[in-house]
Amino acid sequence: MTAEILTFFIFVLAIFLGIELIFKVPSMLHTPLMSGTNAIHGIILLGGMLVLADAEGVVARITGFVAVVFGAANVFGGFMVTDRMLKMFKRKK
């Protein structure tokens, strides 16, 4: 039970830290930072899947599943932002 509470506590702290970091980044730098960290997000997603595969208990599985879903959304959003940014620099015919 203690490991599950610690896991949930770390998860909640990561949410607050992520929110603080996102709101502190100027909008001008947000797109380049998103496109530059797609590989890191992929590694985080892979790590979340590995942790989820070894999770024991309902709380650990639910927390791991939520982490994998958020990680996948982050990777997908990063690629969408990168694609949109690259379209801005293409020459119009």
Q: Does residue 17 sit within a domain?
A: no
DSSP class of residue 54 equals T
Q: Tell me the backbone φ, ψ of residue 37, rounded to 5 degrees.
A: -110, 15
Q: Does residue 10 sit within a domain?
A: no
- Residue 56: give the domain boundaries: 26-93
Q: Does residue 44 sit within a domain?
A: yes
Is residue 47 within 8 A of residue 70, CB to CB? The reply is no
Inform me whether the pLDDT recorded for 14 exceeds 80. yes
pLDDT per position as a tens digit, 27-66: 666 666 666 677 777 888 888 888 888 888 888 888 888 8
Q: Does residue 40 sit within a domain?
A: yes
pTM of the model: 0.56
How many structural domains is the chain composed of?
1
Inform me whether the pLDDT recorded for 13 exceeds 90. yes
Spatial separation of the C-alpha atoms in residues 44 and 39, rounded to whole Å: 9
Q: Does residue 78 sit within a domain?
A: yes
